Amino acid sequence: MDTALKFCGITSFSDYCKAVDSGVDYLGFVFAPSRRQVGPEQVSGWLRQKSKHPQQKLTAVVVNEDVDVLTRIVNECQIDVIQCHGTESPQYILQLKEKVSAAVFKTIHHQADGTAIMARYKGIVDGYVVDTKTANEWGGSGIPFDWAAVPGYQEEATRQRVPCLIAGGVNPQNVKELLRYKPDGIDLSSGIETAGEKDEGKMRAMVSTVKKSYQVPDQLGRFGEFGGKYVPETLMYALEELEKAFDGVRNDEAFHQELHREWESYSGRPTPLTKAERLTDFLGGATIYLKREDLNHTGAHKINNAIAQAILAGRMGKQQIIAETGAGQHGVAAATVAARFGMSCKVFMGEEDMKRQELNVFRMRLLGAEVIKVTSGGRTLKDATNEAIRHWVTHVNDTFYLIGSAVGPHPYPKMVREFQAVIGRESKAQFLAETGSLPDEIIACVGGGSNAIGMFYPFIEDDVRLTGVEAAGKGVETEEHAATLTKGKKGVLHGALSYLLQDEGGNIIEPYSVSAGLDYPGIGPEHAYLRDTGRVNYVPVADQEALDALQTLCQREGILPAIESAHALAHAFQRAKMLPKTEKILVCLSGRGDKDVHTIQNVLGGE
Ligand SMILES: O=C(O)c1ccccc1N[C@@H]1O[C@H](COP(=O)(O)O)[C@@H](O)[C@H]1O
């Protein structure tokens, strides 16, 4: 869960600018009597002079304010959240919510029956702030309460499925102690001031301490605004059952021992880290290293996650596996683990992909899986996923849906990330052992995004540039691409909110890429979050660039990459040429290209 941060008590344009630039999540203005009180005309003036970042929320702190006065403040200052910091009753808040569309948070002043008070606001408020109770002030006292009470407040808020921010005397010195309680959010005013003015240095210190601990998704499976669980009611039980089972194995030593045994003795992990010396000489810039997921059993990173989910399925007593597949690599991985663990397997695959990946269809059948041809829509990965979900809805009791990418409803994106993080963990250890330092930049291709998130996640808090490469097909200026993060808009697909390729009416646009594994119209929700927060840079690479890179790697290193991975390579080659020889780039070579030979031959005309 990502801890949200709110800077409160902004009293001047200069304070407002410092807060906006700090990247804090909530900007708070006190409209109640206080030494920090401001008026709506002042705040709206600042907003006109400088825009906040789109994800930042404007908060109005009020104390027992008249509903009509408050409505005017909300409208004049485009307030996103009202923080009721007085003795406002549930009835008052219901009345307020009829007048305004802003979210309403209720402040609970810490006391023995604080959580019982919260229970009275259940289903009425959109969040809580817990602050210290003092004799003379409603808030902004700079005095902490006993944080041992935080888990109680946090639990009640989680039960109510709303966030809970902890306030009262938090400052850059004590915030680490508060973070141990993993609050949904932290709210402070005095702690970022020096002599009554907001202090830029203290703001920066708070943001770097709080935001450095990367904690997404939250309990509801949300990465910021992305992710979640947008599914029919029939699937809610199945997802909750899965979440419980997944939580149960996360710290289960026996599960991890079995998983590592399978990864090592069956799939061939750890995969090697290869220094691409001839390629580096040819490019003439930064040194390129390859994480060789192509050397996994079945030829790609997909097996890492498939093995883990199959073991989990077995523990849940499910003997039927279903899966969707695009390039066929995940279908092969699912069919493989089903055979390995003695389970039945149905793989849903678009008719178009079946043609492009004939060899993988044959492999799946050879492994004993039933491949179900999907003829709806564009007959590719999206349609296969739709069909798999449809099947799951009617067979939830005995069927485990083995999703192959960091997509779908919670807990799949988190679960797939954790199972694929073995890529990044191994890379980190191997890179340190071989070079004595971390890479300067890591590059991975993104379709749904599982190899990329598995590679990035263990480096997310390190000083390493991270770049995701999406498929630009015939160019992002054409209609034939799969560049979801470059050209997509927010929407819901396959149970999660993320960026999607869609037309004006919200209909999904069929994606295109020469690589079957990248032509998905959505993207894992964590990538959407990482893009919006700026932690990862995402770039598009076209078919032709990928195919050129593929041939270069073949000829310079004797490695035939998957067309998917060749997208990451193409961008890495561009970067390497621009960077000095002292820099090191790590590329996730997510899969091998044997499955693509037919496609490559068709495109290159046998040359
Ligand atoms: O900050 C104020 O002056 C204030 C006045 C009236 C109600 C709330 C106020 N601020 C809130 O107080 C807490 C924490 O402040 P601090 O860090 O202890 O100084 C926070 O919720 C502010 O929103």
Ligand 1 atom nearest the C-alpha of 144 is 18
Answer yes or no: is the C-beta of 249 below 6 A from any ligand 1 atom: no
One-letter amino acid for residue 438 of the chain? L
pLDDT of residue 356 exceeding 90: no
Q: What is the structure's pLDDT at 55?
A: 77
Nearest CA, atom 9, ligand 1 = 139
Residue 230 in 3-state DSSP?
coil
Band of the pLDDT at 84, cuts 50, 70, 90?
A: very high
Kindly report, as residue ranges, where domains of CATH 3.40.50.1100 are found in the chain: 237-262+298-411, 269-297+418-604
Q: How far is the CA of 123 from the centre of ligand 1 (A)?
A: 25
Residue 407 in 3-state DSSP?
coil
Band of the pLDDT at 541, cuts 50, 70, 90?
A: very high
Q: How far is the CA of 6 from the centre of ligand 1 (A)?
A: 11
Ligand 1 atom nearest the C-alpha of 6 is 23
Q: What is the structure's pLDDT at 220?
A: 86
pLDDT of residue 2 exceeding 80: no
Nearest CA, atom 5, ligand 1 = 139
One-letter amino acid for residue 260 of the chain? H
Residue 58 in 3-state DSSP?
strand
Segment 304-338, tens digit of pLDDT: 999 999 999 999 999 999 999 988 889 999 999 99
What is the architecture, at CATH level 2, of domain 269-297+418-604? Answer: 3-Layer(aba) Sandwich (3.40)
Cβ(27)–Cβ(211) below 8 Å: no
More confident residue, 247 or 186: 186
Alpha helix segments (H runs only) across 184-293: 200-212, 233-250, 253-262, 277-283
Average pLDDT over every residue of 284-292: 98
Segment 471-517, tens digit of pLDDT: 999 999 999 999 999 999 999 999 999 999 999 999 999 899 999 88
Cβ(413)–Cβ(523) below 8 Å: no
What is the architecture, at CATH level 2, of domain 4-211? Answer: Alpha-Beta Barrel (3.20)
pLDDT of residue 136 exceeding 90: no
Answer yes or no: is the C-beta of 139 below 6 A from any ligand 1 atom: yes
Answer yes or no: is the C-beta of 142 below 6 A from any ligand 1 atom: yes
Band of the pLDDT at 243, cuts 50, 70, 90?
A: very high
Segment 254-268, tens digit of pLDDT: 999 999 999 999 999
Kindly report, as residue ranges, where domains of CATH 3.20.20.70 are found in the chain: 4-211
Cβ(543)–Cβ(473) below 8 Å: yes
pLDDT of residue 1 exceeding 60: no
pLDDT of residue 607 exceeding 60: no
Average pLDDT over every residue of 85-104: 97
Q: What is the structure's pLDDT at 517?
A: 85
Q: How far is the CA of 14 from the centre of ligand 1 (A)?
A: 19
Answer yes or no: is the C-beta of 32 below 6 A from any ligand 1 atom: yes
pLDDT of residue 107 exceeding 80: yes
Nearest CA, atom 1, ligand 1 = 140
DSSP 8-state secondary structure symbol assigned to residue 369: P
Band of the pLDDT at 196, cuts 50, 70, 90?
A: confident
Omega of the bond prior to 217 within 30 degrees of 0, cis?
Answer: yes
pLDDT of residue 15 exceeding 70: yes
CA dihedral 397, 398, 404, 406 (to 10 degrees): 30
Mention every residue, 6+ apart, whose C-beta is less than 8 A from residue 221: 227, 228, 229, 409, 410, 411, 413, 414, 496
Q: How far is the CA of 148 from the centre of ligand 1 (A)?
A: 20
Segment 524-533, tens digit of pLDDT: 999 999 998 8
DSSP annotation string for 467-527: EEEEEEET-TTSS----HHHH-EEEEETTEEEEE-B-TTSPBPPP--SSTTT--SS--HHH
Residues labelled as active-site residues: 302, 324, 590
* Strand 496-500 relative to strand 536-542, pairing: unpaired
Q: What is the structure's pLDDT at 23?
A: 84
Ligand 1 atom nearest the C-alpha of 9 is 1
Average pLDDT over every residue of 261-286: 98
Ligand 1 atom nearest the C-alpha of 141 is 18
Q: Given 3-state DSSP classes, what are the helix, strand and coil percentages for the chain, each rounded to the nearest 5?
A: 45, 20, 35
Q: How far is the CA of 60 from the centre of ligand 1 (A)?
A: 11
Q: What is the structure's pLDDT at 606?
A: 62
Residue to substitute in 7, 10, 11, 30 for testing ligand 1 pocket (most ligand atoms within 8 angstroms of CB): 30
Please calculate the CA angle 134-135-136 and round it to the nearest 5 degrees.
100
569 phi and psi angles, rounded to 5 deg = -60, -45
pLDDT of residue 347 exceeding 60: yes
Q: How far is the CA of 87 from the centre of ligand 1 (A)?
A: 15
DSSP annotation string for 131-185: E---SS-SS-------GGGHHHHHHHHHHTT--EEEESS--TTTHHHHHTT--SE
Band of the pLDDT at 178, cuts 50, 70, 90?
A: very high
Q: What is the structure's pLDDT at 344?
A: 98
- In angstroms, rounded to a whole number, what is the distance separating the alpha carbons of residues 47 and 564? 44
pLDDT of residue 251 exceeding 80: no
DSSP 8-state secondary structure symbol assigned to residue 2: P
Ligand 1 atom nearest the C-alpha of 171 is 17
* CATH match for 237-262+298-411 among 3.60.10.10, 3.10.640.10, 3.30.530.20, 3.40.50.1100: 3.40.50.1100
Answer yes or no: is the C-beta of 36 below 6 A from any ligand 1 atom: yes
* Percent of the chain whose pLDDT exceeds 90: 84
Answer yes or no: is the C-beta of 131 below 6 A from any ligand 1 atom: yes
Omega of the bond prior to 90 within 30 degrees of 0, cis?
Answer: no
Of 7-21, 170-184, 206-220, which gets the smallest average pLDDT? 206-220
Q: What is the structure's pLDDT at 146?
A: 96
Average model confidence (pLDDT) for the chain?
94
Cβ count within 10 A of residue 96 = 21
Q: What is the structure's pLDDT at 62?
A: 98
One-letter amino acid for residue 321 of the chain? I
Strands (E), 326-464: 344-350, 370-374, 399-401, 441-445
